[in-house]
Amino acid sequence: MRWWWCLGILLLIALPAASQLPPAPGVFGDAPYDAALNFVDLLAAGDFFRAAQCLPANQRGDATVEQLKRRWGDLTRKYGRFQGRRYTAADLEGEHWRIHVLCTFEKGYVDAILTFSTLAEEREVLSFTFVPVTHDQPIGATPGG
């Protein structure tokens, strides 16, 4: 009976201390969800200049702004008006986060897949792609991936 009492006291001491520890680097609590959602929001708002600022410095420029505008325009021509987004999944692949953002359009869904480095403090979008989502394909699953 005494050991239950000792266990209870240990838990009362250990749990509050453990809950205040920050997540270790490289765990899902460290994933750049907000940066991924912000990038999609900027594209949807037509703020391609600010969206380009989310990319590494060597990828920014007028050409990049035009490329972002063209790629987003291709999506809206094919799928209709953008209606919303939500975070759907995060994968850790070596030194990179892969964040999936489900984008809802008038005529379908697109999985925006954004890649971020786990090593850099800056939350820059290293790469991104848009993959159409079909009804028989689970969210976060990419063809060949």
The answer to the question of residue 24 being in a domain is no
The answer to the question of residue 112 being in a domain is yes
* CATH for 117: 3.10.450.50
d(CA 32, CA 86): 14
Q: Which pLDDT does position 65 carry in this prediction?
A: 93
Q: Could you list the pLDDT tens digit for every one of the 145 residues in the chain?
A: 554 444 444 444 443 433 333 334 444 567 898 999 999 999 999 999 999 999 988 888 877 999 999 999 999 999 999 999 987 788 888 899 999 999 999 999 999 999 999 887 788 999 999 999 986 554 554 444 4
Task: Give the three-class secondary structure for 125.
Answer: coil
d(CA 80, CA 72): 11
End-to-end CA distance of the chain: 54
Domain with 84 in it = 30-133
Taken in order 74, 80, 82, 86, is the CA torsion positive or negative?
negative
The answer to the question of residue 6 being in a domain is no
Q: Which pLDDT does position 59 carry in this prediction?
A: 81
Q: Which pLDDT does position 57 carry in this prediction?
A: 84
The answer to the question of residue 106 being in a domain is yes
The answer to the question of residue 80 being in a domain is yes
Contact assessment for residue 104 and residue 83, using Cβ atoms and an 8 Å cutoff:
yes
Split into its structural domains, the chain has a count of 1
The answer to the question of residue 67 being in a domain is yes
Q: Which pLDDT does position 125 carry in this prediction?
A: 92
Q: Which pLDDT does position 15 carry in this prediction?
A: 38
Q: Which pLDDT does position 128 carry in this prediction?
A: 93
The predicted model scores a pTM of 0.72
Sheet of 96-105: strands edge to edge? 82-93, 96-105, 108-117, 127-133
The answer to the question of residue 21 being in a domain is no
The answer to the question of residue 53 being in a domain is yes
Helical H segments across the chain, by residue range: 2-19, 33-44, 48-52, 62-79
